[in-house]
Structure 1
Amino acid sequence: MAESQLMCMEDGHIGAKVPESKPEFYYSEEQRAAIEELMKNGDGAFKTRLKEENMTDFLSAREIKHLLNTFKHYDSSSDESTSAARSDADSGVHSTYWPQMSDTEVPPLDIGWPSGGLFKGVTRVAVHTHPPKDNGPHIKEVVRRLIQEASKVIAIVMDMITDVHILQDLMDAASRRSVPVYILLDNQGVPHFLDMCSRLQIGSQHLRVRL
């Protein structure tokens, strides 16, 4: 069990409710109960539970499908150990991206990009793991804190992004603080991103999509 999950079971943390707007938000008993309802009675019961608890729809359609397709009921009559099937996602073909050798033009950053002087100082790289090591913060907290503290520009490069809290943080940065937000996704991840935008009622007036 991850250290962050163990902390939730300690006496000092039982009953301590962290608002979803806070970067420290990680565990929610309401979300756990909703996922349990999804596993037991399907997507319809999951949506009903969200409505009854006045909760945000925090799972994408892809995540729900994956959970339902991979969930297996525990067979107490069998002592045989089971292992999760692993798909060979690595084809052995890798590529390296060289910006100075790109064969396409740089897209216009028409919502702004800092044009100040070059950064002066020591370049720092921080590596975060999940579960976190040495009582460090979990990755989601680090990402949300960086987004909430950003004041000039936010640039995100990911295969896929469907986390509802991170999307809400990005919308707050763009709409409330006027921080330009750029998100570069893999083509296969775009439909799932747009699905989550639709769930949050984020329309074309709030974002521009280039394929």
Structure 2
Amino acid sequence: MALSQILDDSPLRLAPRPARTDGLNPEEVYNERHRLALEELLSGGVDNFLAFLKKERIPNFLSDDEIQRIRSSAVPPPRCLSVHGEELEQSLRSSLDCSSVTYFPEVSDVEPPLLEIGWPAFTAGSYRGVTRAVAHFQPSYGESIYACKEAARRMIKSAREVIAIVTDSLTDLDIFKDLQEACSHRRVPVYILLDQSCAPAFLKMCRNIGVRLDDLLHMRVRSIAGTTYYMRSGARITGKVHERFMLIDGNRVATGSYRYSAL
């Protein structure tokens, strides 16, 4: 959480924050001038952003692609069409909720969803030997027999207790059919967590092949957004999920840059 999201006079702040004991200097991980530059980018555009960098003698810390993504993903602050009665009150509440100075974990944070189709304890048959790591490439390379896709499919087909996938996108029909077979025929619980922006593509894939997620009793699919950064103006920028990993039966993990998509 950015330092701009913390207020010393917060009404929910009951005790002073303890001093850091790890020797980490906040200035090494947080740059206030960079935050102000982002404010200029979203409120005034690229010219204002570059002018601010020049005035503060800051090197440009964003590439052209990053600038474009930030501007396109930014959500402007809410606006109210009326300034009377309940609409005004609602608009003020919305503005406060989107302000970077009103982040209160005690109010906004929620409990994670329950794993309602079960999560094995991994006490029986769990691997207790030496940890091993195998590298795969797409396409296959060197001594690696299987490419990333084939290795992922073999892991899914070998699952007996649980499959949990966190990825930005899942549109590969072969991998999804393997997951469908695992939960439908072998009754292996399958949990899939997707990036929110990629969820529509996943749902479209399901419609294209005639699959209704409600019919897959042993599969749960949810979406999640990346970290949301709130600006002083009320605008917000939401990042994307870049992690990609798959957990099989509690004793095997596949992770890396490979995407579960056709390309």
Please, what TM-score do these two structures have when normalized by structure 1?
0.48
| Greater gyration radius | 2
Please, what TM-score do these two structures have when normalized by structure 2?
0.39
